[in-house]
């Protein structure tokens, strides 16, 4: 029995969910998203709530996943999703120039990052970015791509990181007995 798949999904005012074959379309104030609905899963609507039913236990593996995708789409078109990034390092910064974010990350050249449709980035204080949009997967992927431009260095922790990300700082090179130099006594 899928506990996630059997949970009801509340549909707020102004959100419409329609199913055409193997797709469900969710429309709301922040846009329109489509969610794949596999064969064997049916969407039932009643009193502003949605319930997903499966035909047999063969579809148990995708029952909860489909419900989670549909719930995320409803949340995305009403409230949206955000990811926060911090840039740490002397001289490291970002600037927003329309649909392009320009990063200065210690390389010999600035990096221009083009934003896909449906994603907005606000730059606060040159070192804090907020990636936002309606599609949860797309917001997370854009934030991961920005982080991969200069991942945090394990020795100095410089680079692009998620806000609140815990990093382990490695110890530097040990001087003394480990390098073959005898310690003076």
Q: Could you tell me the residue ranges of all domains in the chain?
A: 9-78, 81-162
Taking the model in full, what pTM does it have? Answer: 0.84
d(CA 149, CA 32): 30
CATH tag for 81-162 (out of 3.90.930.12, 3.30.70.141, 3.40.50.300, 2.40.128.20): 3.90.930.12
Task: Please tell me the predicted confidence (pLDDT) of residue 109.
Answer: 94
Per-residue pLDDT in tens (0 to 9) along the chain, 185 residues: 568 888 889 999 889 999 888 999 999 999 899 999 998 888 888 888 999 888 888 888 889 899 999 999 999 999 999 999 999 999 999 999 999 999 999 999 999 999 999 999 999 989 999 999 999 999 999 999 999 999 999 999 899 999 998 888 898 888 865 555 555 55
CATH topology identical between 9-78 and 81-162: yes
Retrieve residue 137's tokens.
């997967």
d(CA 148, CA 93): 15
Burial (0-12, 13-18, 19+ Cβ within 10 Å), 133: buried
Retrieve residue 84's tokens.
């926060």
Query: CA dist 180 to 19, 25, 132, 176, 183, Å?
Result: 71, 67, 53, 7, 9
- Superfamily of domain 9-78, CATH level 4: Ribosomal protein L6 (3.90.930.12)
């Amino acid at each position: 029995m899928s506990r996630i798949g059997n949970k009801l999904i509340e549909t707020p005012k102004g959100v419409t969910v329609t199913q055409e074959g193997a797709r469900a379309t969710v429309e709301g104030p922040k846009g329109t998203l489509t969610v794949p609905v596999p064969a064997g899963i049916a969407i039932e609507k009643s009193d502003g709530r949605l319930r997903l039913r499966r035909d047999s236990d063969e579809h148990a593996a995708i029952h909860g996943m489909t419900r989670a995708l549909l719930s995320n789409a409803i949340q995305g078109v009403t409230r949206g999703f955000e990811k926060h990034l911090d840039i740490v390092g002397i001289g490291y910064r970002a600037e927003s120039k329309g649909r392009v974010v320009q990063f200065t990350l210690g390389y010999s050249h600035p990096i221009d990052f083009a934003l896909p449709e449906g994603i907005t980035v606000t730059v606060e204080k040159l070192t804090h970015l907020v990636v936002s949009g309606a599609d949860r997967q797309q917001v997370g992927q854009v934030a991961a791509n920005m982080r991969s431009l200069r991942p945090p260095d394990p020795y100095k922790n410089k680079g692009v990181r998620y806000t609140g990300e815990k990093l382990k700082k490695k110890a530097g090179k040990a001087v003394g007995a480990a390098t073959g130099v005898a310690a003076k006594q």
